[in-house]
Each structure stands twice: as structure tokens, then as C-alpha cells.
Structure 1
Amino acid sequence: MWNSVWEQTWASLLYVQNRILAADAVDYYARTETPSPLQHFWSLSVQGQAFLLWVVILAICQILVRRRGWSPDRVVGVAFGAVFAISFVYSVILTAADQRAAYFDTGARLWEFAAGSLLVVVLPSVRAGERVRALLGWAGLVGLLALGMLVDVQGGFPGFLALWPILCAAAVVVSGSGPRPVGPARLLASRPLGALGRDAYALYLVHWPILITLLVVTGRSDAGLVGGALVIAASLVLARGLTALVDAPVRAWRRSDPSPLVPVAVLVVATAVVVTPLAGWQVSSAIQDRELEARALLDNPGAAVLRDPALPEPPADAVLLPLPTQLEDEWVYLDQDCSGDRAVAVEILQGTCSETRGTPRADQTIVVIGDSHAQQMTGALLPVAAQNGWGVVFLIKGGCSMGLEEPGMDPSCPEWREAAIAHAERLAPAAVMTVVTRSDPGEDDEALRPGIEGFLQRMADADLDVIAVRDNPRFAFDMFGCVVDTENPLDCAVPRSSSLADVNPARELAGPGVRLVDLTPWICPEDFCPGVVGNVAVYRDDNHLSRTYATTLAPSLAEQLPPSLG
């Protein structure tokens, strides 16, 4: 997880953490088993972006007030009213379409900041009696406390549901706007809560890393009553120290010295405190990884040991590949987006079509089409294609196989399949490669992809040969995690029959124009499926081959390709 922590540290420093989390939230390939200790900084990134925009808006308002002589309150009210309306409508629409992306989207959050700005404008004009203010205040406070118990924050925010906390917070503010505090304003102005409010910003900074550290150390998914109390106590202590030793002295320095160099110095020092250890850590880790990988290339034959039993056993101190820090690089990607005659013409294919760099000059091209299992098998195809000068084109969408009757993981899969098939037909490649079976953990659960016969018929009608690949086994646990956590990787091995059928279900598909490819003997030798072969981790998770191991399958794949590709 260090790569993710490094990425999020840089993103937090540059106030773009929310964009990173938004991308991960909708990314089929994102590994999110363990929350990041910096995940809560997304809201600070949104704040930073909003504050920059607010400077621009207020500067424009100031120009209009000076040049036109308009009322400042009216100009500011209209400006932030427009921001509120536009952002709110956008938030509602985006939340309905893609809630996970909307949650971190700055545009979908701006209306919440605009509501605060509008409250500042109208607050001096609010004339409410003490009873009304007290009623508003208590209602707002109760509403805020009840929010997490009554509303699906994770599934419904921001959208119109975010009006609840915004209006509740506004009611609390209005309750304290009179000549003397009433209702909850009196409680909130008390010395204990005032002391808590003094450390509130630091408390926000430290509470989440402490919680995540506790969960990682204990291996639990929740803190529990005692753990939760410890997290709260530790957070309060650290927040008090952070406020007293960092925040208060910096504020005092700024008040005593009006020089513009003060904020510059604070910015430089704060940045250096983050960048120096972070960059040093990354460089050191990268150097170590390169040294280990260079040495390990001689000690990690992978599937080659199954093809040539005479190969020597890797030494006892040989490092297992891929390294855990390189796991995100174990997806197979091609060099560039589809270009020239291969460029996509329909929007739904945008971002799902890519090609190798030599494809425009290749005499023969293979199109790999389907889901992530077709994608992973391309790791075995790429060395063969490079050796023969073939081009390779990806038409890949996670969770969308070429089983025309399979629902897929995304509601857009049927529409995407039709567009991808039409694009493949237009490209008229030498062959189309896809995975035609699906395995699942459990006895005899391997079967043909529902509707795969329809896809093969479409290819036959277009006079396109198909390389029909059998699926690899899938597991009920993270095979890579098991391998790196155990002293003997063989403890993670499972029988072949626990995921694959005794006979390849794709055999019934064999015929003219369909070339069956079965790499099972080099994935599950001797009727069991190990997590490590030739000192290479076979899998990157519970069902996908690692790119490193897939590459070592290239000779076995080459032997099974149709002669027409010679």
C-alpha cells in the first residue's frame, strides 16, 4: 500500500486528493482493501480549490462594486447565489448518475461553500426573536446529531441530501446571531466546548490516521468500544499538542510580523517537511526495487520451469516477483490510445481502446476484446506479437465479457459490447482473442460464458478467426496475499477441480475459425493450482494472473495459436 500512500501524500500536498480518490472510487482495477491514513484529506483539497475560486469571485465582485457603484451585498449575493444554483443542480444530477464520483467532485460540493457565503451576506438582515433563535438552534443541533443515524451519507451524498446538514448548520449559526446567546449557542459557547473547538482543526487532521493505524495493527475492521475510546483520547492529546506547538506559534508570528515573507517562509518550511522525507523514501525504495528486480530476473523463470524441468531451482534467497510495491503495475496495458484508422468513433468506446506502438506499421493485427481476464491473457500474447511483428489492439472494459447474455458488472456492458464488436469488425484483424469460459470457486463451476456462441457467430459472419482462451482458476481468497503472508507458498495451493471443470467446456466450440487455447497445464500443473511457480507469483489477487507470470506463458501460448498467424 506504500505506493498509494505516496501518491496520496503528494496529492494532499498539492490539494488534489479528492481527484485521486474520485478516480479510485470508480476504477474497476483499484485495490482498496485497506483505507489510506490520508483519505480524510480529500475535504481539505476541496476546500483549497474552493478558496482559490472564491478569491477570483470576490476579486470580480470588488471590481464591479468599484466601477459600477453597486451594493457589495447584492453583488456578492448574486455571485454566490449563481454558484449555489449551478453547483447544486450539477450535484443532484451527478449524484444520481455516479454517486461515488460525485462525492469527491469539487463542482458537486461548491454549493455547500456558497451556502456559507450567502449566510454571511444575509445574516445581518436576520431579525429573529430569542425564542425563534433558540428553537432554530436546538432543531439544527439535533438534526446534525441525527444525520448519521437516519441518512445514507455514503450512498446519497452530496446531492439534495446534503441540504440537511447545510440547513442544520445554518440554523445553529442563526441561533447565535442575536445580542446574547440562547439555546444551543449558550452551550456551544461554554468553556469546555470552546476548548474543543480551539483544537478542532488539528483534531480533524489526526483522528483518521490514528484510527487507521489501530485497525492495521490489530487487524480488525472496526475499533470497538475500547479501541474507539483510545482513538478519541489519543486524538485529543495529539490535537492539543499540534495546536499548541505548531498552529498557535505560527499564528502569533504572523500577528507580530506583517512582512509578506512570513507566509512564504511558512509555506516553504511546511512543504519541505513533507517533500524531503517523502521524496527520499520514494527514491530509496525505487533504487532498492530496481536492484532486487535486476537480480531476481535471473532467479524467476516462472512457467519456464514447467516447460524445462532441467532449469536449476532458484536460490533460497531469491526474491519473489512481482514485488508487493509493484503490484499496481501488474495489469497489462498497451502503449497508446487507438489512433488512425483504429481510432474509436463512438463515445462509449472512449478510453477502452488502446494499441501497441508498432500497430500502425504491422502487417497483421490481433484484437483482444472483453473483460479484465482477456486483458490479463494479453501478457502472454505481447512477447509473441513483438517477436512476430504483429500489432495488438485492446478493446477492454472491466467486467464486460463477450458473453452476449452475461449481464456484466456495469449496466453499460451490453451497449459497450455491441460497439466493441462493431469496431472489431471494422478493423478486420487477423484474429480476435477473448476468454470464452468463466471459472468460479466451487466444485465444477466452470462453464461457457452465457451467450458466447452468439459472439462466435458474429465473428464467423465477419470472417474473423477467434482465439478462444480458457479462463484461469478463481479463488475465494486473495492468492497473492496468501503467498506473501505464509512461509510455504504451497500452503496456498488448491486443487484444480475447486475452480475448473475436468474437461474444458470450450471444447464444444471448436470448429472452423475458432482456435482453442488452454494454458491450464502451465497455471495448474499436476492437478493443483499453486500461488507460486518458478519463483513468480501466479496471481495478483483472487482471480487475475500477474502480468509477470502471464509473460512467462508466452511460449505455451505461441504453440496454440492458429497457423494463419505465422
Structure 2
Amino acid sequence: MNQPLINIERKFRPEIEGLRFVAALLVAIYHIWFNRVSGGVDVFFVISGFLITTSIISTINRTGEYRFWPYITKLMKRLLPSLFFILGIVLVLSWFLLPKSIMSKTIREVFASMFFYQNWQLAFSSTDYLDSSQMKTPLEHFWALSIQGQFYLIWFLVFTFILFMIKKYRLTKVKTLINTVLGILFVSSFIYSIYLTAVNQPWAYFITMTRVWEFALGSLLCINLSSIKINKYIATVIGWLGLIGLILTGIVFNVSEMFPGYIASWPMICALFIVLSGTRDTKYGVKRFLASPVMVRLGGISFGIYLWHWVLLEFYRYNVQETPGFFIGTFIIISSIILSFLMTRYIEEPIRSSNNNKFAFKRLGIIGSVNVLLIGSLLIGGFIGQTKLEQNITAENYPGAVAVNNPNAIPDQEPIPAFSEVFHDLPKAHLDGSNQGLKDSDIKIGEYGKTENYDATIALIGSSHSEHWLGAILQATKDYNYRVLSITRSGTRFSTGYTDDDLKGIWNKNVLEYLKNADVDLIVSHATASDTYKHKIHQQMVNQLQYVKDEYGIEVLAIRDDPRYSFNVLESLETIGLEETAKRMNSEENQKDESFWRQFENENKSLHTIDLTDYFRINGKFHPVIGNIVIYRDNRHLTNTYSESFGPIFEEKINEILKDV
């Protein structure tokens, strides 16, 4: 190509470097002191779109072609040194400073981060980025880096397609073509982001497709910046408006629940204002501040600041206290800056600036291999510990829930599951994929027990608070000729309280449609939610169960919800111990459905009921471990092992109901 693909200015934009530091600093500040999302990551995405598009267009203008290997090697030399180095540090520190209960999750996320799919790892594991009751690994913030890596590959394909079209059809309106392609990506991703944020925000927050529009905005800005002319006064005003608006994003909006929908355009427009403002040199413009030598230098290490701050914060939280004070938080930020500077200078720059790819990739290979060896060592260590514990397990030493009847007769043993296994001690329906996630409204049915020539069918229906009783039901029915069905959807109660156009409401409707002609003799479902005082919510659950009983003639066993807590019981158990965790549990009010449940039991309404609350207490006090079995895997969900220990209790109740069916 004799002519440039498109005329753009490729020059160093110092104010963008300063903006990158502001974005990184905001992310750290909001994470450390406010446990909120700042919108800084969205600014990173816009800037990344702007810069990578500038680089791509410049390469094509200079060489007339666009080849994969030079493109990808340059990116790998830029991203992998810091990534691999921090992952190695995290693996080493995890052995000494991280609770064992979060170790396997951390190892999976290390692997996901190494191969740039951490965002999908978090999405599929139903992670809520800022839910304090979920145990956090030191690597959850790597989701943004994974999306960035995926975006770079997507943009290579996009511009390869554009260049192919230009050459094949000898197109002359290149700028129009690029704007059209990027515009289509922007609009389609933006619409999808708005839709998915409305119906399934936790999923939308992490996946790639809902974030493409943010990168596309930066790219469109790059393509069209030279055509946008503003005077100095407007540049001054919009620059400061952009910076102030960006700083206030996390205060004005509840970003963790509203992003990446249309509200995410706020920090992105703020970033756009700042970049536009930087096209003019003004005496009092924001460019003078952001382009100052100190801000430019800090912007150059902002990538490392973002990566380090969360690592330091999470290790501090697990080993000292949940929320850092002002001085500790400031120390974390300063430490992140220092570590980023050292890492950039001695790890990243020697590899990134090397013209010898063999030298660069040899170093990357060494660091990556060390990480793989560390992962293997941690996995082997965990396996050995688990094996030793399993060798000592007997039914007499680990009775679980039934131990509340005679707690003093049970000798103290190391509790099971081992802390390293508790997080993944899930019911069968979760492990085999029968549990319906939040992404759609179709029903999935897990079938267990006797699947042919059975005497009766038991269907477990509801949210994860029904699902975690599957272990108890399977244990109760193992010696009987019963079929057991699991029909559950995460975060979705079996209730009349949803609208017809809501995915949860549609799922409920689909379940009712299935039950209309299903061969089901008994439905088991939780009938209250112990995290709310709202009578209406409890009644809507009972109404749904009563409808099934009255309309379909199916027997119903309604379970009172298990006690819930504002903190992660497993994390507390491992970090502050059994006695302190028990005190913390008993200091909270966990009987929010008490009055409703007593009224419900008295009225009965032809439904069978079961209240298992006493099996979470010893001598009237709640405990995190009963019968040498860990009860909770987070702040509200039972371990499958503890659920199974309810087998004899459910066996008696189920047979009492089914004897007359």
C-alpha cells in the first residue's frame, strides 16, 4: 500500500499516562477503603482500545501489512513478564499466608490468569466481585487483564478482516469502513451489555462480549480524533469535568451492581473528555496536571500498581483484619507503587525492550515453568494432607448433625472436610451440572437413586438453599426403591414472587408446567428465607408450594431455611478459630423467619414441615462445627458432608410421608 491506511497522529500523549495512574489509584482506593468498584477498569479498557488501535494503524501505515507473529510477540513481551512474576509470588505466599480453604480456588485462578481466561473462570464459578461473604483469592482482579488479552486477539481479527476487504476490493473509503465495523461492534456489544446487566448482572460483569463496546469506544476515538476540533475554553472545562466525574463514579453509582450496562458510559465519557481536552494545550487545563513528569512516571507503572494492590490487600485481610485503616491502606498503595516500579525496571523492561526474542521467551519460559512447578507442589501437598485425614474417618467419630443429641459422647477430631476441600464440598447436582445457573430459564433435571421400577419419586425444587439438602435426601433414600429428582436454579426460590418476564419467573413457570404431568409423589423445598424479615417473601414461597399441593395433588415437605450470617463462616473458622467464630455466630440474629415459621407450622395448610434449626446448635448455641463436620462452605450454604449427616432425620420424615402415598 503506497498510501497510509488512515491518517492518525501517532505521538506520545503524556496526559493519557497520567490518566492511567488516576484510574489505577481510584481502583486501589475504592477497593481498600470502600469495598466498591470505581469505574477505573472501564477507563483502562477505553485507553487500551485507543492505544492498540493507534499501534495497529501505524503498523499498517508503515509496512502495508499486518502479521500475527510480530503482533502477538510484542504483546506477550509486554503482558507476560509482570503477569508471570506476580503469579509466582502469589503461589509462594499462598503456602504460608493464605487459608487452606481458598487454596484450590487460588490455584485454578492462577492457571486461568496464565492463559487469560480468568474472567470466564469467575463467571462460571458465580463469583460476586465485592460480596464480602465470598472468600476472595489474591487474583480475582486479574479478570480485567484476561479480558484485555482476549480483546487484543479480537482486534487482530477485526483489523485483519478490514485490511483484507481493503486489498481485495480496492476500497478507498477506508475511514468509513473502519468506523462502520467498529460502530457495529460498539452498538451490538452495548445493547447486549444493557440487556444482560438487567437480567444477570454478575454474569455480565465478567464476560468478554459485554465489554467489547468499551474498547470499541477507545478505538473510534483514535480513528476520529483528528476530525474533532474544540477550542481552548471548552477543552479546559471538559477536561476538569472528566477528571472530577471519574473520581466521583464510585460514589455516585453502585458500580458493582450496575456495570457494565449503560451506566458504565459515565467513566468512559469522562475518559473521552480528558483525551479530547488533551488535544489542546491550555494554561489551566487538566493536561498540565496529568502530563506532569510525576504523573507520567506513575502512569508508566500503573499496570503494576493495579496488579499489586489487590494481592497485598487480600493477604492483609486474611492475616490481620478485614478493612485496613487509613495508614495501612496508604502503606498498601505506596508498597504497590514501589513494587510496580521495581518489577517494571528489573522484570518487565529487560524482556519488553529486548530485540532478541529468543532471550525474551527463554526468560518467560523459565518464570512460567517455575509457576507450573509451584502449582504442582501445592496440589501434591494438599492431596497428601487430605489423604492422611481420610484415613482416620469413621462413622463414630464423624456423626455430624445427629451429634447434637449427645455432643459429649463424640471425641474431638480434626474436622472434615479438610479446609482445603470445604469450598468444593458441593451437592451432586452442582458437580454434574444439573443445577440450573443464572444464564437462562430452561429447567435442568438431575436424576438419582432408582431410575427404573421405583416405588416413589421425590423432587427437590428451589434455589441453592434447597439444593444443598440433596446430600441428605440421597443418604436418606439410598436403601429404598425411590427416584430422586433435583430441579434447582441458583438464586431462584420456588415462589410466586417473580414476574412473568423475569428469567426467575419464567423458570418457575416452566417448573410448574413440568410438574403438571410429572410422575412425582413428594416435593421437597425450603419455604422460608432466613435473611429477611419480609413476611411477603416467605408467604410467596408457601403459596407456590400450596398451589402444587392443591392443583397437582403432590405431597410437599417444606423446610425451614438454615441460619445465615453476614460473614463467611468458613473463612472465619480458619482465620480466627472455632471458639471465636462460634461467638461471632451467636452475636448475630439468625431467626428472621421465626414468627412466620411458627405461624406456618400452626396453620400447616396440609403441607408437611420440618424445622432443622436445632441441628445447628449445641446446648442452645450455634456452632460452625458439629459432630466433627464443618457445617458451612460460605456464609449460608451447607457442606455436602454435613448435609449427608441429616440422612437419618430425612429418612424418618420421608418414609412417614410416603407410607400413605
Superposed pair shares fold, TM > 0.5: yes
1:466 alignment counterpart: 556
Counterparts of residues 445-456 of structure 1 (less than 5 Å):
452=542, 455-456=545-546
> Which residue matches 1:217?
319
Contact 2:528 2:559 in 1 (8 A): yes
2:493/2:541 contact within 8 Å kept: no
After TM superposition, the structure 1 stretch with the greater mean CA deviation from structure 2, 17-26 or 65-74, is: 17-26
2:352 is aligned to: 251
- What residue is the counterpart of 1:172 in the other structure? 274
Question: Secondary structure of 1:168's match?
Answer: helix
Which residue among 279, 282, 298 is the counterpart of 2:379?
282
Larger CA deviation: 153-162 vs 465-474: 465-474
Match of 2:263 in 1: 161
1:382 aligns with 474
Change over 3 Å in CA distance of 1:94–1:164 after alignment to 2: same
Q: Deviations over 1:12-65 (max 9, x none)?
A: 11212222333455779x884444322221211111111000111111111122
- Aligned-residue CA RMSD in angstroms? 4.1
In 1, are the aligned partners of 2:128 and 2:134 still within 8 Å (CA)?
no
Letter aligned with residue 556 of structure 1: I
Q: CA deviation at 1:121?
A: 2.0
| 1:433 matches 2:524 | yes
| Deviations, residues 241-276 of structure 1 (Å, cap 9, x unaligned) | 0011011111232x3x2x5x4554355334324322
CA contact (8 A) 1:206 1:238 kept: yes
The structure with more radius of gyration: 1
1:192 has 2:306 as partner: no
Q: Which of 9, 32, 57 lines up with 2:158 in the alignment?
A: 57
| Distance of 2:528 and 2:241 partners within structure 1 | 58
Aligned-pair distance for 1:412?
5.3
SS at match of 2:392: helix
Partner residue in 2 for 1:265: 362
Residue among 324, 328, 333 paired with 2:419: 324
Instruction: Letter of the 2:441 partner, please give it.
Output: I
Alignment correspondent of 2:646: 553
Deviations 1:456-493 (A, max 9, x none): 45325423233444555556766556655445589558
Matches within 5 A, 1:26-105: 32-71=133-172, 72-105=174-207
Determine the C-alpha separation between the residues in 1 that align with 2:581 and 2:183.
64
Distance in 2 of aligned mates of 1:151 and 1:16: 28
| Aligned pairs (5 A) from 1:302-451 | 302-303=400-401, 305=403, 313-314=410-411, 316=412, 318-334=413-429, 336=432, 348-351=441-444, 353-356=445-448, 359=451, 362-398=454-490, 400-402=492-494, 404=496, 413=504, 415-436=506-527
Q: 1:321 Cα shift?
A: 1.5
Q: Hey, what's the Cα distance between the residues in 2 that align with 1:146 and 1:483?
A: 37
Aligned-residue offset at 1:139: 4.5
CA distance in structure 1 between the aligned counterparts of 2:225 and 2:177, rounded to whole angstroms: 16
For residue 308 of structure 2, what is the amino acid of its counterpart?
Answer: V
Kindly tell me the number of residue pairs found equivalent between the two proteins.
Answer: 542
* 1:539-550 alignment, distance < 5 Å: 539-541=632-634, 543-550=636-643
Q: 1:403 to 1:180 in 2, by over 3 A?
A: closer
Identity across aligned pairs (percent)? 26
Q: State the distance in 2 between where 1:349 and 1:105 align.
A: 21
* 1:509 corresponds to: 604
Q: Tell me, what secondary structure is at the counterpart of 2:186?
A: helix
Equivalent residues in 2 for 1:125-164, closer than 5 Å = 125-126=227-228, 133-134=235-236, 137-164=239-266
**Stretch deviating more after TM superposition (410-419 or 389-398):** 410-419
Change (3 A) 1:467 1:142: closer
Q: What is the aligned partner in structure 1 of residue 340 from structure 2?
A: 239
How far 1:278 sits from its partner (Å)?
2.2
CA distance in 2, matches of 1:510, 1:130: 74
1:360-413 superposed Cα distances (whole Å, 9 cap, x missing partner): 664532111233343233322102323224221012234555565x679x9655
Q: Given the alignment of the two structures, is residue 300 of structure 1 paired with residue 427 of structure 2, yes or no?
A: no
SS at match of 1:329: coil
- Residue 230 of structure 1 aligns to a residue in which SS? helix
Q: Which amino acid aligns with 1:173?
A: V
- Cα distance in 1, alignment partners of residues 295 and 581 from structure 2: 57
CA contact (8 A) 2:133 2:566 kept: no
Distance 1:230 1:436, change over 3 A: closer
Q: Cα deviations across residues 330-353 of structure 1 (Å, max 9, x unaligned)?
A: 3323375679xxx9xxx62434x3
Which sits farther off after the overlay, 143-152 or 554-563?
Answer: 143-152
Shift of 1:171: 3.8
CA deviation vs aligned residue, 1:2-21 (integer Å, no higher than 9, x gap) = 23322322221121222233
Query: How much has 1:190 moved relative to structure 2?
Result: 3.2
Amino acid at match of 1:452: V
Query: Which residue identity is paired with 1:13?
Result: M
Q: Which moved more, 1:364-373 or 1:106-115?
A: 364-373
Which of 308, 320, 323 in structure 2 is aligned with 1:206? 308
CA contact (8 A) 1:507 1:516 kept: no
Unaligned stretches of 5+ residues in structure 2: 1-101
Q: Distance in 1 between matches of 2:218 and 2:622?
A: 59
What's the TM-score, normalizing by structure 2?
Answer: 0.70
Using a 3 Å threshold, how does the CA distance of structure 1 residues 488 and 205 change in structure 2: closer, same or farther?
closer
Give the counterpart letter for 2:182 in structure 1.
F
**Native 8 Å contact 1:369 1:433 kept in 2:** yes
Task: Give the direction of change, closer, same or farther, for the CA distance of 1:33–1:521 in structure 2 (3 Å limit).
Answer: closer
